Structure 1
């Protein structure tokens, strides 16, 4: 089950990359000095992407743990 560990690590790394991208999006929205309504809309989109990236990272970690337990 070594392949499951490597696939899970890659998926988890993709999730962490997504989290870093969310940080970048939030910081760029902050630097843009947008009006309140537009800032809220952008940050709501970032929160949705953040939750998706966190879920992907969790799935990757579950694959790693399953690969360790089964291998």
Structure 2
């Protein structure tokens, strides 16, 4: 069951990297002094990446918990 913990940790790390990328992309968009519609378009483009990263991170944390409980 140790392999489940390591796979879960890798997934969690991948998800956290995606979340950090989302934060950085939105911060860059806010600093770019865009119009309201352009800013909304950029943020709506980053939204799927953010949601996917949160999902991957959640699955990774669940795998870590399952691996610890079964191990």
TM-score normalized with structure 1 length: 0.94
Q: State the 4+ residue runs in structure 1 displaced beyond 6 angstroms.
A: none
- Aligned-pair Cα RMSD in Å: 0.8
C-alpha distance in 1 between matches for 2:45 and 2:58: 20
Residues matched between the structures, number: 71
- Segments of structure 1 that go 5 or more residues without pairing to the other structure are none
- Segments of structure 2 that go 5 or more residues without pairing to the other structure are none
CA offset at residue 63 of structure 1?
Answer: 0.6
Q: How does 1:8-27 map to 2 (within 5 A)?
A: 8-27=8-27
TM-score normalized with structure 2 length: 0.94
Match of 1:38 in 2: 38
